[in-house]
Structure 1
């Protein structure tokens, strides 16, 4: 679901980034007010961003040879509130793009809209309905499943509109070459059949774990949290297990390199993709030069967690 650079036209990227600007502004204002009531919000945002980062490292095999992954958007909204979850997920997506080449730089606004807005807010609304009906776990599971699938649908529409929005005079697509009739079924198939169920299961299991181990850290709990040991243990466990994400071979649908896309199309990739932005991330694909892939994967995970920890420590001192 991480749309790479050059799959969306510059105009589309500009529109999505512009749409995200007021959302991020409101998120910052909402979170500032939340911090005044519950100071634990600052370190929790760092923990949540790290948690989402690690969740997304576990790739899942999809029929047809592609992969997908869970995100944890609804879970973060339940832990932090939807506005803080929006900021945490945006931080995660930004780090993934800048340091690991997962998702594009120009498409950051689109990816944030899909995974940091659609997913947590839709999922949280479902959770709230379940909570009012005294079935919060069912609400969480449904929210997680619906949230990730709506996010996938939104991404598929953004991709599928490109042949209509950006093409040459003879109608040849300049960016993503696949229309809505292909992008929507392809994206939804992966998430309806696999990723959505994993998202729901993981969200409920982690929610149950945190509710037992650290209930006062939940969004609607009293501001008495004193220990983050449960979260730290969870993060360490996911870091150690992260190489399991390497077991699923193949590239996620719509995230191919130009070479992979050329092979799929049996012709050259669209001009806008071959002549677009090509950013070389330091640890592209979570690999570290000179290390075997599993160890590089673990160190990439650890690096991300440490970056979030340092960033939140700096922000905490400011508050």
Structure 2
């Protein structure tokens, strides 16, 4: 679901980025008001969960791959505004360091995965939980919220892909950016998410929330005991398991490189050309592209990438926490 650069026109990217600005602004304000400096590191933990979850690629129908995001998970644990910030920072690290998702398309990716997914997933969860105040009702909300959240995010990405050939063509009528219309992009994105990726999102969400409720209920419930050591242990375990994401072969739909898209078959027909906007568009060289490290075996590079990504996210939110003001107006760490 990570839209690469040059699949969306620069103007589309600008619109999506502009749409996210007020969302980020409100989210930052809410986080400042609602998250204490003691709980600020939890945003780093949440971002790490999302980052690692997105490294577990699974095979999807049609020979492509996909992944869970953890947006509803973070919204339930931290609140939707905190989830928005955590997922946005995780997506930024993925784009800058690993080339997973575009730089220009960052706003669009955040709109789908850091806005639609956590907010919709959370409000579905809350709606069901409030009307069925029992553990069964809570888990029904978790399942439906996480499943529908990621599927609506996939639908949004499909629409963003599909409007490109309608709006942006060259003089010969060929698409300049994503060449697949809505009739292709919508089923190609939504069907695999409905059948597989949505189920994976549910499994991740339910499993991690159940684990956290057992070992550190204070992360979810006010007044209960909070044990972050067990949560860090889970993060370490997930890092060790990330190479499982390498078992899924194939490229995610809509994430082909310019050199391979001309050979992609859709409806039995090979595209046969590279859209001009892709061929001559924006280029950015990530430090560890595709979670690989030059000179290291693929598995070792994947694990090292996971360690680096998680460490950076934890450090970022730790630093933010040290700068956060106390209620008396002093910066944390100052007397």
Pick the TM interval, shorter chain.
over 0.9
Which residue in 2 is equivalent to 1:311? 316
Q: Distance in 2 between matches of 1:225 and 1:318?
A: 25
SS of the residue corresponding to residue 167 of structure 1 reads coil
Q: Distance in 1 between matches of 2:316 and 2:271?
A: 45
Residue 245, structure 1, aligned to residue 215, structure 2: no
Q: Distance in 1 between matches of 2:196 and 2:55?
A: 15
Residue 269, structure 1, aligned to residue 271, structure 2: no
Which residue in 2 is equivalent to 1:209? 211
Q: Distance in 2 between matches of 1:314 and 1:224?
A: 26
Task: Provide TM-score, normalisation by structure 1.
Answer: 0.97
SS of the residue corresponding to residue 75 of structure 1 reads helix
Identify the range of structure 1 (204-213 vs 5-14) with the bigger mean alpha-carbon deviation.
204-213
Which residue in 2 is equivalent to 1:12? 12
Structure 1 segments of 4+ aligned residues over 6 angstroms from their partners? none
Q: CA deviation at 1:40?
A: 3.5
Which residue in 2 is equivalent to 1:110? 108
Distance 1:257 1:250, change over 3 A: same
Q: Distance in 2 between matches of 1:50 and 1:11?
A: 31
Which residue in 1 is equivalent to 2:235? 235
Contact persistence 2:84–2:114 (CA under 8 A): yes
SS of the residue corresponding to residue 263 of structure 2 reads helix
* Cα RMSD for the two superposed structures: 1.1
Q: CA deviation at 1:268?
A: 2.1
Q: Distance in 1 between matches of 2:323 and 2:224?
A: 21
Cα deviation per residue 1:248-302 (whole Å; 9 max; x = unaligned)?
0000000000111011145221001100011110100000011000010000000
Which residue in 2 is equivalent to 1:259? 259
Contact persistence 1:177–1:270 (CA under 8 A): yes
Cα deviation per residue 1:86-105 (whole Å; 9 max; x = unaligned)?
00000000000000000000
Which residue in 1 is equivalent to 2:80? 82
**Which of 94, 98, 112 is equivalent to 2:92?**
94
Structure 1 residues without counterparts, runs of 5 or longer: none
Q: Distance in 1 between matches of 2:38 and 2:168?
A: 46
Contact persistence 2:121–2:146 (CA under 8 A): yes
Task: Provide TM-score, normalisation by structure 2.
Answer: 0.92
Higher helix share goes to which structure? 1
Structure 2 residues without counterparts, runs of 5 or longer: 265-269, 325-335
Q: CA deviation at 1:229?
A: 1.2
Q: CA deviation at 1:224?
A: 6.3
Residue 66, structure 1, aligned to residue 68, structure 2: no
SS of the residue corresponding to residue 178 of structure 1 reads coil
Q: CA deviation at 1:316?
A: 1.5
**Which of 113, 118, 121 is equivalent to 2:119?**
121
Contact persistence 1:52–1:92 (CA under 8 A): yes
Q: CA deviation at 1:226?
A: 4.7
Distance 1:151 1:121, change over 3 A: same
Q: Distance in 1 between matches of 2:315 and 2:69?
A: 22
Contact persistence 2:38–2:321 (CA under 8 A): no
User: Bigger radius of gyration, 1 or 2?
Assistant: 2
Contact persistence 2:242–2:302 (CA under 8 A): yes
